[in-house]
Amino acid sequence: MMETAVKNSFDSGDTAWVLMCSALVMLMTPGLAFFYGGLVKRKNVLGVLMQCFIILAALSIQWVLFGYSLSFAPGKGFWGGFGWFGLNGVGLEPYADYSATIPHQAFMIFQLMFAIITPALIIGAFAERMKFSAFLIFTLLWATFVYDPIAHWVWGVGGWLKNLGTLDFAGGTVVHINAGIAALVTALIVGKRTCYDKYSSPPHNLPFTVLGAALLWFGWFGFNAGSALGANGLAVNAFVVTNTSAAAAALAWALLDWKFNGNPTMLGTVSGAVAGLVAITPAAGFVGVGASIAIGVLVSVFCFIAVGFVKHRVGYDDSLDAFGIHGIGGIWGALATGLFAAKSINSAGADGFFFGNPKQLWIQLLAVVVTIVYTFITTYIIYKLVDKFIGVRVTGKDEAMGLDLTQHNERAYTMLE
């Protein structure tokens, strides 16, 4: 029977784990939608949920058609090329260069979930003022020309950053720095929300934000522990340090709030948890528990300063702090991996600065700088192109009425029954 032939070539425990983790990471995007949705005004909440949800749909198609091929087909070039177009050659047998114990399509679907959440993270920067049509085209172009090449460089067979020895366990560089920098660029060029300087805009539903953060934390076990691509000790290590870092960062942010803003805030605590998850992402398969506490505490310090002081001093409107948390947290995580990585945790990794290998820190720094420069420039070009042909920003009148009504003809909450 064909089934037995297939069964022999992969490990059922590993395959079950990776499929389960794919589902966990899928849930992160709706979780992110609620995390962001709670932070915007009530007239824009559907706009944010819709942007996240449509990415789930659009990127799923992009990925099986050509996104996976561009990212992961072997090749030393700019990207992987179209050799695996339409999943041609991506079957149910393992592809040993990525994962010898699970079907190739399991690896593909797991990676899809990362490709989905990365552009969704950027939404936080331009929330409440981007035209839906422009958003959709911007996102597809960004996924194709920014995410796919960088995923190839860092993770793909033949990728040049991978060959240099960059450590990125679950996507600190590819996902978080990448999305964070794109967020900064779009926030800078789309401009502030109208009345941003004059009037306050408190979150319309913080319990949504807490629910979203909880779903993100839950899904992140799939993100990081799943990146071991097997049900093994490495997955357990990633699971443990992920939880520890999130916890340390949540506590640290709450204490910082208490000390500097008078009270520990719910928003601060969940922001800290997410920052801790971001920072441990590249390191999860290379560091131990002690390091994960340091990574978590320090990411909250850096992000607390970035969103509480730097943003207002510099004066850009990164509305939901996509750069302040994912960009800053991602950069710290990538560098921290170069500091704390240890071969005693993962023999396939490398030793970091504190384990006698300062060179690893420079390799990490190079990957960070390359990602920042490439993403900054390419995101700028894509934005300008979309702006020229469609116009990115909604009209002042539409912004005042809210995206729910003007972009989708719907309202999230009725005033009367």
Partner 1 sequence: MKLIIAIIQPHRLEQVKEQLYSAEVNLITVNEVLGHGRQKGIDEVYRGFKETGNLMRKIRLEIAVNDNFVEPTVNAIMKGAQSGEMGDGKIFVLPLESCIRIRTGERGWIAIG
CA end-to-end span of the chain: 59
Cβ atoms of 145 and 380 within 8 Å: the answer is: no
As measured in angstroms, the least distance from the Cβ of 148 to partner 1 is 32
As measured in angstroms, the least distance from the Cβ of 267 to partner 1 is 6
Closer CB to partner 1, 39 or 174, in the complex: 39
Is 312 near partner 1 (CB under 8 A)?
yes
Applying CB under 8 A, which part among 91-99, 122-130, 303-311, 387-395 lies near partner 1? Answer: 303-311
Specify the 3-state DSSP secondary structure of 317: coil
Applying CB under 8 A, which part among 122-130, 253-261, 327-335, 376-384 lies near partner 1? Answer: 253-261
Distance CA 263, CA 261 (A): 6
Q: Which of 87, 101, 96 is nearest to 9 (CA)?
A: 101
Is 255 near partner 1 (CB under 8 A)?
no
Is 4 near partner 1 (CB under 8 A)?
no
Helices (H) and strands (E) in the chain, counts: 19, 0
As measured in angstroms, the least distance from the Cβ of 190 to partner 1 is 20
Is 317 near partner 1 (CB under 8 A)?
no
Rounded to the nearest 10 degrees, the angle between the axes of helix 132-142 and helix 104-126 is 140
Binding residue for partner 1, selected from 2, 96, 198, 200, defined by CB under 8 A: 200
Q: Which of 342, 338, 346 is nearest to 362 (CA)?
A: 338
Binding residue for partner 1, selected from 202, 259, 348, 417, defined by CB under 8 A: 202
Rounded to the nearest 10 degrees, the angle between the axes of helix 206-225 and helix 266-280 is 20
Output phi, psi for 345, to 5 deg.
-85, -45
Output phi, psi for 155, to 5 deg.
-115, -25
Distance CA 251, CA 91 (A): 45
Is 321 near partner 1 (CB under 8 A)?
yes
Is 268 near partner 1 (CB under 8 A)?
yes
Which residues 6+ apart lie within 8 Å of 247 measured at CB?
Answer: 273, 276, 296
Is 308 near partner 1 (CB under 8 A)?
yes
Cβ atoms of 239 and 221 within 8 Å: the answer is: yes
Specify the 3-state DSSP secondary structure of 198: coil
Specify the 3-state DSSP secondary structure of 393: strand
Is 180 near partner 1 (CB under 8 A)?
no
Is 413 near partner 1 (CB under 8 A)?
no
Closer CB to partner 1, 154 or 278, in the complex: 278
Closer CB to partner 1, 242 or 300, in the complex: 300
Is 333 near partner 1 (CB under 8 A)?
no
Applying CB under 8 A, which part among 153-161, 197-205, 358-366, 374-382 lies near partner 1? Answer: 197-205
Binding residue for partner 1, selected from 265, 374, 380, 401, defined by CB under 8 A: 265
Applying CB under 8 A, which part among 71-79, 115-123, 265-273, 393-401 lies near partner 1? Answer: 265-273
Is 203 near partner 1 (CB under 8 A)?
yes
Output phi, psi for 111, to 5 deg.
-65, -30
Applying CB under 8 A, which part among 41-49, 267-275, 287-295, 406-414 lies near partner 1? Answer: 267-275
Q: Give contact residues for partner 1 (rule: CB under 8 A).
A: 200, 202-203, 257, 260-263, 265, 267-268, 271, 304, 307-309, 312, 321
